[in-house]
Each structure stands twice: as structure tokens, then as C-alpha cells.
Structure 1
Amino acid sequence: MASITSVELNYLVFRYLQESGFTHSAFTLGYEAGINKCTIDGNLIPPGALITFVQKGLQYLEMEANLSNVSMLVFITTFATTFGVWVEELADRDMPMDQEDRDNIVKHEENGTTSVVGPEPMDIATTSTITSQESCEIPNSDVTILEGHTSEVCACAWSPTGSLLASGSGDSTARIWTIADGHSKSGGQNSPSNVLVLKHVKGRTNEKSKDVTTLDWNGEGTLLATGSYDGQARIWTTNGELRTTLSKHKGPIFSLKWNKKGDYLLTGSCDKTAIVWDVKAEEWKQQFEFHTGPTLDVDWRNNVSFATSSTDNMIYVCKIGETRAIKTFAGHQDKYVHDLREHTKEIYAIRWSPTGPGTNNPNHPLILASASFDSTVKLWDVELGKLLYSLNGHRDPVYSVAFSPNGEYLASGSLDKSMHVWSLKEGKIVKTYTGNGGIFEVCWNKEGDKIAACFANNTLCVLDFRM
């Protein structure tokens, strides 16, 4: 008789929390239960799996109850049997796929599992390639810890024009910190006089629906946009004035980004959609509905096109005015530009490199970086739809990636409490920092000599970077 293990049940609950928008609860469960270390293939688990199992269990319970008086033990046994049959059906089901996918299927008969493998990626950096880990550690003298938030710090963003650093937290506030130029002195910039608090709820500050999950500055550094668990995006001035509230999403906003011109704001939500907002008109311009799971991250490629990622493991490249995820430079209509499928678990964050035509680094190719719960960072050639490199240095899910302004380095933050800085030219980790909690986000200042990292232990760190 098939049975359900505690690992399988934990994974189903973890996925349910993610899909329902309870990011912090999912984070805590994933950390304590070691979800990232389990061998369950998330690609085989459909959205809403836990609810489906419960509904089926209740249907069996009702059916059995009509026949005789049954105990809860019967319900649990039936529920477990349903789960086991469902897993077996997934493994044996002839899913529609093209010939390339069929060629990439590898069945491991020895343990009864099935996995999909793609082309062999080039690992340009792993921790084993570092000759001296100690030489890469950022010293404490180059670290400033900013304290004041009363809950986990979920997001951070540097102003593109000055020394302002914004942070968003589960305490229902965003904060704007003034960071002095030059190298930091540990603990030197955490006084209340250097911080402006933006309250997202009046009165009590522990309302979960007002958690600030994401934020971003416009190109001029004059406006700060924040996204919240209540599904609203808010736009603030640098003096803390709330200018605009944008409402249309039906679930928590996980990511938002200004385009370079500053006339559009892009938001991604747990409601599986992305919305482009006309900031001047203070209304939505277009809503994109193509993901089958919560939209975890969004990032502009230019002023009119952007990329989105989701718990459905997919990355789509989209364009304003088009109703589907397409790319017009290839001459194709009514199809995706590329489906990037090399990750084995959910893709949590994506970022475009500051390189290519129209940037300050035009002689370097445009690259898309993706961070995943599979503990890797992958770099993509979007023009060709090709995996360039896989960066394997973290031990736990990677929540954030950020390119340096010159495009030569990539910072990554992980649940393993570490931030790595990768040299894309040398193909290795050149700097690393280990904090006291999982890292939700990392970001560079405009000069490229400071990196901010926000932690689950309610702190924000500013790290001096120099080579």
C-alpha cells in the first residue's frame, strides 16, 4: 500500500504556501525542513497539488461515510493511497513533448525516479576552484550593519543618483538610509538621524498584509516604488511623501521595476500576472496573463520589453502592446522567443546585464541571469535561447542576483547565509560574505564600490567592494 512521507507532505505544504503568497512562511518552513535538499522533482508537482489532495481525500471520506461509519484512520490511509497513485501516474504518464525533450529523458531504474537532463552546462565557478577561501572573505571592517527594522528585511535598492539606500521589511515599512561616501566603518551609519521611515499602514505595524516585499528607484532617483503583500504598489518621494497608490493585482506583489525612461512601472504578483503601469496617468496600461504560477520576478530589457519568471519554472520575454510572450526581432509571431528550462526547481529572481547595445557597456553581450531554488545561478544568451554558464557555489536556494554597473561582476545571495561576488571574466568567486541569516536580496550602488544585502534576521548590511 502506498504511503506519504513527512518529506513529501512538507514539500506539498511548502508549495501551497508559495503559491498562496505566504513567502515568509514558505521561507521558514523551507529552511527548517530542508526543502532544498529533498529529491522531489518540483516539475512533476502541479499548482494547487495540496488542495487537490485534500479535496480528493474529503470526497473519499464522504463516500466512505455514506457506506459505513469510518474512522479518521481510514481517511488518512485513503489520502496516502491517493497520493501514491498520483505520483506513480506522473512517473508513467506519457506527457506531450517534442523529440528533443524525449531525447533528454533519463530514467533511473535503480531507484524508480525519473529526471530530465538538458545540455551539459559549463561550470565557470564552483567553491572548489577557489585556492583560498579566506582571501575572498570581506573583512568586518568593510561591513556596516544597519539596524532598525523589526522584521525580516525583504528588499533593498540603491538610488541611481546619490547615496540613498532603500529597504523594505515585514514590519510594514520601507526605509530610506543615507550612506556616507567613502569606505564604511562598521556600525557607523545606523543612527536614527540617517533613516527615513515610510509607513505602509497606520497604527499597528505588524499587519501581515502590508509587508513590503519589493522596491525600486526610478532612473532619476526622485521616486521610490514599493510593492506589498496587500497587492498594491505605492510611489513615494525622497522626503517620504506618498504620491500614488496603484491597485489592480489580486494577490501579493513580489517584484516591481521602473523602466529606464521612468514612464512605466512593471509589477509581478502572486496572482500569476504582470502589469505595466502608466505612472503619469496613474493607471494600468497592460496586464500579462500567461504564467501558470505566481510571478516571482520581473526585469526590463529596455523601455518597452521585459522578462518575467515564475514558480512554473518558466522565463518569458514580453513586449508592451503584444498580447503574448513574443520577440519581434526573430520575425516570429504568436510564439515564445525561448523557453529557458535548465533549472530543476523554481526560478526566484532574474536580472538583465547592463551590457549590450544602448548601454554603457556596448561591447559586451547582453546576458540574462536567473537564480533558483536549485541552488544555482544560470547565465543565458537570450538571443539564441542558450544556456551559457551555470554558477555552482551556493548550498541552498538562491534568492537574488545583481550585476555590477560595469557588467564584470555578479553578486548572488542565498538561504545559506552567504553572498558571493563572481568575476564573469575569470570564472570564479572573488569575494564572499557570510551573515547571520538567509539573504533575500543584494544590490550594487551606482559606482560599483558598495553592495547592500538584506537578511532574514532583520538587518541590512552595506559591504565595501574593491579588487
Structure 2
Amino acid sequence: MKMSSFTQTTIIWDAHTGEAKQQFPFHSAPALDVDWQSNNTFASCSTDMCIHVCKLGQDRPVKTFQGHTNEVNAIKWDPTGSLLASCSDDMTLKIWSMKQDTCVHDLQAHSKEIYTIKWSPTGPGTNNPSANLMLASASFDSTVRLWDVERGVCIHTLTRHQEPVYSVAFSPDGRHLASGSFDKCVHIWNTQTGALVHSYRGTGGIFEVCWNATGDKVGASASDGSVCVLDLRK
């Protein structure tokens, strides 16, 4: 189990015993997100604008990626663990290559902070290998963008939200994307066409959306404390 809090240290905990196994005090400002690449390697990002790739048992980062000019809000490994995506308050989305040890795409299109990102469950190493790998980014500019990772271009801009977008999630087959915004709406999009296929309005700002394993239900949590489950079969 991992933990990153509003401190400069990332702590790895043993989920069975509850004991702290190792601390990684490498950031110079609060750590904001952590994502595992494998059972013993993870990446962390921080308001210090740095990204560290760390390995259990080692007392210094395996790699450090620098290039953002403001705090890094979220990081996510692609399905193969060879690419790391990051998004920042500097309004950019960057894709880092572990093999090339550098930023391979610097994606600039959003007009405000990018809050979170998600990789599609498609492409090599997934259950949907024939479909292209995509990346979704959610921003405080009220838009969601879908990116073609291989070409490094935006293929769809999803514009129906009226407030900051806090969460995005791909369906298990990658054909649909759910987005949740502080406008209280959950939208379901066709990832191939960019078309809006379903829309639901809740009772509070949407902070998180997620799919079930079969891809026919979406869960959403809201700012008023409510949690709803949307049945897409109805």
C-alpha cells in the first residue's frame, strides 16, 4: 500500500501488518499523487514540479523527470509501464519515456489547470490490443480532451461541461469515457467519435467516476456526500 499526503514524503505501508516499510523523502514540497508501475516500482509527483520514479529497497530515485513549470497534479503509467503521463497547473500534459529517459510529448491545448488524466485500456498489453492507445485529460477549463498517444495530437475535445472537470474514466473496452464535473453532471462519451451518448445530473459537484467490470454501470461520488450508480442499460 502507498500513501502520499500533504507532506514531502511518500510512505510505503505493509497492507497486512499496517507497518511502514519505507519512506521516500525526495520531494522538496508536498507530494500530490503516486502510481505503481510494478510491485516494487512507483512514481510520485509534487508541488515542487518534479516527478520521481522510485524502487523499493533503494535509497534514491531511479529516475527524476523535470519539465513542468508549476505543480504536478497527477501521474499515470500506461498499460505497458513504459510511458508515464503527467498533468500540471501549467496547463500542459507531458508523456515521459522510461526507455528514452525524456519527455516524448509535450501536449498543450487546455486553457486552465489539468486536474487528472487516465489511459485507455487499449493497445499492447491490454485486453483490447487492436484498439489504439488513448489518453484522457480533465481540466478546470471545463473540457475533456482525448489524445492519440502515438501521434501526440488531440483527437477530440469534449465541451459539454460548464464547470471544472475532476474525474474521467474509460469503460473496460475503451469504447466509452465517463466524465464528472462540478456542474453536477456525469457525461458518457463515445471515444471514437467524441459524441455525447448519455448525460446524468446529480445533486452535487462530481468528484469521481468509475466503471464496473462489465461496462454497463458507472458510479459517481458528489460534493454533497451522495454516491450514485448509473445503469447504462436503461
Q: TM-score range by the shorter chain?
A: 0.7 to 0.9
> Aligned with 1:340: secondary structure?
strand
Q: 1:277 & 1:313 partners in 2: Cα distance?
A: 25
Alignment pair present for 1:463 and 2:222: no
Per-residue deviation at 1:371? 1.0
Q: 1:434 & 1:233 partners in 2: Cα distance?
A: 36
Alignment pair present for 1:398 and 2:175: no
Cα distance, 1:292–1:389 mapped onto 2, change above 3 Å: same
**Structure with larger RCO (C-alpha < 8 A, sep 6+):** 1
Q: Deviations along 1:179-209, whole A, 9 cap, x unmatched? A: xxxxxxxxxxxxxxxxxxxxxxxxxxxxxxx
Q: 2:152 matched to which residue of 1? A: 385
Alignment pair present for 1:295 and 2:61: no
Q: 1:225 matched to which residue of 2? A: 2
Give the strand-richer structure, 1 or 2.
Answer: 2
Please report the TM-score for the alignment, with normalisation by the length of structure 1: 0.45
Give the helix-richer structure, 1 or 2.
Answer: 1
Contact 1:401 1:410 in 2 (8 A): yes
Give the aligned residue type for 1:235: I
Q: 1:264 matched to which residue of 2? A: 41
Contact 2:73 2:116 in 1 (8 A): yes
Per-residue deviation at 1:464? 4.5
Q: 2:111 & 2:167 partners in 1: Cα distance?
A: 17
Per-residue deviation at 1:382? 2.0
> Aligned with 1:338: secondary structure?
strand
Contact 1:234 1:242 in 2 (8 A): no
Per-residue deviation at 1:394? 0.5
Per-residue deviation at 1:338? 3.1
Per-residue deviation at 1:451? 3.4
Per-residue deviation at 1:289? 1.7
**Among residues 108, 112, 119, which one is paired with 1:341 in the alignment?**
108
Alignment pair present for 1:309 and 2:76: no
Alignment pair present for 1:277 and 2:54: yes
Contact 1:355 1:367 in 2 (8 A): yes
Give the aligned residue type for 1:290: G
Contact 1:452 1:460 in 2 (8 A): no
Per-residue deviation at 1:353? 0.8
Q: Deviations along 1:226-275, whole A, 9 cap, x unmatched? A: 3211133333455572443432222222222112x333111111110111
Per-residue deviation at 1:398? 0.9
Cα distance, 1:405–1:454 mapped onto 2, change above 3 Å: same
Q: 1:465 & 1:243 partners in 2: Cα distance?
A: 40
Q: 1:319 matched to which residue of 2? A: 97
**Among residues 424, 427, 437, which one is paired with 2:191 in the alignment?**
424
> Aligned with 1:339: secondary structure?
strand
Q: 1:452 & 1:225 partners in 2: Cα distance?
A: 24
Q: 1:405 & 1:246 partners in 2: Cα distance?
A: 33
Q: 1:282 & 1:453 partners in 2: Cα distance?
A: 39
Give the aligned residue type for 2:174: G
Please report the TM-score for the alignment, with normalisation by the length of structure 2: 0.86
Q: Deviations along 1:376-402, whole A, 9 cap, x unmatched? A: 111111221222111111001112211
Show structure 1 runs of 4+ deviating over 6 A: none
Contact 1:353 1:366 in 2 (8 A): yes
Give the structure with higher Rg (CA).
1
Give the aligned residue type for 1:390: T
Q: 1:363 & 1:303 partners in 2: Cα distance?
A: 18
Q: 1:417 & 1:447 partners in 2: Cα distance?
A: 25
Q: 1:454 & 1:235 partners in 2: Cα distance?
A: 27
Q: 2:143 matched to which residue of 1? A: 376
**Among residues 374, 388, 409, which one is paired with 2:176 in the alignment?**
409
Q: Identity across aligned pairs (percent)?
A: 40
